[in-house]
Amino acid sequence: MRVEILDTDHSITAGVPEVSVSDELYVLDCTPTGLSVLAVARLGEDTQPSAYIRAWGAGRVFYVGLGHDARCLRAEPFRLLAGQGLTWAAGR
């Protein structure tokens, strides 16, 4: 599937390239409110948020729907996205 970065200005996605990965498309049954979608995954006609953020009380939530197997976990774009997302969620 193709992962497309929607917000290239955010610190989480800075320097993360769009990439094709071999991974499972996680399908959301509903569209949660209050999300800032940073990236989407496209597989055929299906498009799903693959990375998003939102506020939760005084905290921060970072979600990434990629990384279901070792091939994806080893991919540098995933590692960069996950690392920057965890740093952002920690408030750094």
Question: Looking at the domain assignment, is residue 42 inside a domain?
Answer: yes
Residue 82 reports pLDDT greater than 90: yes
pLDDT tens per residue across span 21-74: 877 777 777 777 788 999 999 888 888 888 999 988 999 999 998 878 888 888
Q: Dihedral, CA atoms, 57, 7, 9, 69, nearest 10 degrees?
A: 80
Question: Looking at the domain assignment, is residue 33 inside a domain?
Answer: yes
Global pTM value:
0.86
Q: Which two tokens stand for residue 31?
A: 């569209």
- Provide the residue type at 74 as one letter: R
Question: Looking at the domain assignment, is residue 49 inside a domain?
Answer: yes
Give pLDDT, residue 7: 94
Number of domains in the chain: 1
Question: Looking at the domain assignment, is residue 77 inside a domain?
Answer: no
Containing structural domain, residue 31:
2-67
